[in-house]
Structure 1
Amino acid sequence: MKAALFYGGQDIRVEEMETPTPGPGEVLVDIGAAGICGSDLHPYRGANPWGAAGTPTARRGGHELAGLVAALGEGVTGLHIGQRVGVEPMHLVGCGSCRQCRRGDYHVCPTRGMRHGARHGSAGFSEYDTAVAANIFPLPDRVSLEAASMLDVYACGVHAANRIPLKMDDYVCVLGTGPIGMTAGQVARAAGVRKVIMIGRRDELLKTALDVGAADAVVNNATANVAEAIADLTGGEGCDTVLESVGGTADTLTQAIDACAYGGKIGIIGAFWSDVSVAYRAANRKEIDLLWCNSYASWNGVREYQIALDLVAEGRVQVEPLITHRYPLAAIGEGFRAADDKKGSGAIKVVIQP
């Protein structure tokens, strides 16, 4: 089979390698769609590198994936060859026996992602990949493989909504207009909150947020006074919840604290690859709860990936307009360039089609 190998930075090579064989309790998936996540771009830009350029060390990637069942490992039942499925990624596989796993919080298992004695992640940027059968979700006919590749993103928004938790009378502010921000805004509106206000810097993306139901109102923080705009949009009450979806620097946390109402909550979904400072005095004065939202798992016994799938299948969120760019595996380098330069390319979500 062909697979993309990441040698560090922008050194991505599509190479031939052996097609994996599913072990006991595993499924081989013929990958139909795999999204490029913001976390994939961090090593692409040189942070948290996947491999060292110029060395034989390389890693595979692609944890937002969907496809067709190609083979079943020993003991797998309830699935059939050719079945269309979404895949919860392998880096979320817990040990199953620790306290966190037993209560359903396998996303914070201390040995999360370990399999057969080694750390393992999904490799959706390949023609085939294996997954544990428990992480395979059959798709209804009305959910395309492309849409299913976005379920991992929606599940992160579902987890944030559950963790906070969102309430019907909440004013919710979403910081960031990328895929995480767009999907989190859609999930919040599907949850029935009072109003979702999206804050970003690009007018075209703020318009998209309104068009796809990710926001009820938008604020351009490059041209508007955010505090005044939020006060006007909330009748002076402020935002009960702020969902930070950008990550990267302390600046977005400071913006989140400024936007948050007294006694409010901030759900931090964005990824930070280095330590950042927090405006402690402002957060303390407002008695703000800072809630770190790491991926997703289950909530009250229900898999959050399944909740995301239900939202998509029922048409309660708009997925297709967010998928703006598609590339074959052979052109994955072009796909990463488009995802890395979203302002120039106009991309929101880039999907690779192996």
Structure 2
Amino acid sequence: MRAVVFEQFHQFPALKDVERPTPGSGEVLLKVAGAGACHSDVSVYREFDAEHPGNIQPSFVLGHETAGWIEELGPGVTGLEKGSAHLVYGPTGCGHCRQCVQSRENYCENTATNPALAIGLGRDGGMAEYVCVPARNLVPLGEADPVAAAPLADAALTPYHAVRLAERPLAGGGRYALVIGLGGLGQIAVQILTALTGATVVATDTKPEAMERAAARGAVTVPGGEGQAERIRELTGGRGADAVFDFVGAAPTVELAKSSAGVGSTVVIVGIAGGTVEWNFYGTAYESALMSTYWGSIADLHDVAAMYRAGQIVPDVETFTMDEAPEAYRRLEAGELSGRAVVVPHS
């Protein structure tokens, strides 16, 4: 079968022929309907090295955003139907620590010693015609389209978990949520906030077309540039946002998040651009919480799949054939995509 393989650090992945996998005990073989190309994949082959993080070692098939149909059941797997469509929960974890037994493998306490971080991050992923995954990592999609669903495994799961972290300050009337960065995750965050809260969603980005899409989904938009924080505070009546979600994580956006947050607010840094800011008592809103987040739990992904089936989440996708997979990654790196790139191996 054909697959996109990460072979060496600091080297573009290769589209090549590899052996079709066979499901082991407790696993299923999934016929891949769609596999999302994520910036995390670019980090793996452009930025990572053998020491950091140590459990993402070449070679393996990329793809941690995967959906498909069950092709074959491995030994011991029952209760699943061949041909049924599922999302794949990426994190694998150790399976026995305090976090994993709560189905929070994304926060596994033994990450440093696990053989891989996730399906597609250290072990073979879904950027292929077929992939083997643990049966417990499957989330049913029912009759919903599995091709467009593929990015939900990260691009919706991550913002969903972030929004759930900020439920308390968004509970009640007259609340404001600020979304910084309107790429794939930010666009879905706008949809999730609209569906789950009564808050006014304020969205900001430097790209006019991204803000237009957010506005079409009900957000009040503020363009980037000078006076950005002041305009956001004006929209909130001067008191600042009750919850802020930074999907970039660069120093200027983290500073914007901090300066736009109101008393008792929650600021969630989702983007991994590595920005840092200074903190002091008088420069931060009272009782505001600043936190990070990473991916989400498998229970969260079940909720995301339900929202997708209900039409509350509609991801923006651009589809590519398997032959076009390298071009999808090239365009991702160049910032030329208007939606999430989804490779459709059996198109």
TM range, normalised to the smaller chain?
0.7 to 0.9
What is the TM-score normalised by the length of structure 2?
Answer: 0.88
8 Å CA contact 1:93, 1:112 repeated in 2: no
Contact 1:43-1:50 within 8 A present in 2 as well: no
Distance 1:37 1:210 in 2: 24
Question: Which residue of structure 2 aligns with residue 97 of structure 1?
Answer: 96
Tell me the CA shift for residue 118 of structure 1: 5.6
SS of the residue aligned with 1:131?
strand
Check if 1:335 corresponds to 2:328: yes
Report the CA distance between 1:23 and its aligned residue: 0.9
Q: Distance in 1 between matches of 2:116 and 2:161?
A: 27
The residue type equivalent to 2:296 in the other structure is Y
Alignment-derived partner of residue 286 in structure 1: 285
Contact persistence 2:319–2:341 (CA under 8 A)? yes
Q: Residue 350 of structure 1 corresponds to which residue in structure 2?
A: 341
Going from structure 1 to structure 2, the CA distance change for 1:64 and 1:113 (only over 3 Å counts) comes to: farther
Q: Which residue of 1 aligns with 2:257?
A: 256
How far residue 337 of structure 1 moved from its aligned partner, in angstroms, is 1.6
Q: Any stretches of 5+ residues in structure 1 without a counterpart? A: none
Q: Residues of 1 paired with 2:296 and 2:196: CA distance? A: 17
Change (3 A) 1:239 1:316: same
Report the aligned-residue RMSD: 2.3
**Structure 1 equivalent of residue 241 of structure 2:** 239
| Among candidates 198, 205, 208, match of residue 200 of structure 1 | 205
Q: Residues 197 and 246 from structure 1, CA distance in 2 versus in 1: closer, same or farther, beyond 3 angstroms?
A: same
SS at match of 2:25: coil
3-state SS of 2:187 partner: helix
Moved more, 18-27 or 156-165: 156-165
Equivalences for 1:1-354 in 2 at 5 Å? 1-6=1-6, 7-9=8-10, 11-44=12-45, 46-49=46-49, 57-89=58-90, 92-112=91-111, 121-122=119-120, 123-141=125-143, 143-152=144-153, 153-165=155-167, 166-169=170-173, 170-211=175-216, 213=217, 215-222=218-225, 225-247=227-249, 249-272=250-273, 274=274, 276-281=275-280, 285-287=284-286, 288-297=288-297, 303-319=299-315, 322-323=316-317, 325-342=318-335, 345-354=336-345
Tell whether the 8 Å contact from 1:34 to 1:352 is kept in structure 2 after alignment. Answer: yes
Shift of 1:282: 6.4
261-270 or 6-15, larger mean C-alpha shift: 6-15
Query: What percentage of aligned pairs have identical amino acids?
Result: 28
Cα 1:283–1:109 change in 2 (3 A) is farther
Find the aligned partners of 2:32 and 2:203 in 1 and give their Cα distance.
33
Q: Which amino acid aligns with 1:100?
A: Q
How many residue pairs were aligned?
330
* SS of residue matched to 2:276: coil
Q: Distance in 2 between matches of 1:107 and 1:168?
A: 30
Runs (4+) of structure 1 exceeding 4 A deviation are 112-115, 117-120
Structure 1 residue 242 displacement after superposition: 0.5
Rounded Cα–Cα distance in structure 1 between residues aligned with 2:113 and 2:118: 6
Q: Deviations over 1:246-279 (max 9, x none)?
A: 13x322211111111133111111124x5x4222
CA distance in 2, matches of 1:78, 1:191: 31
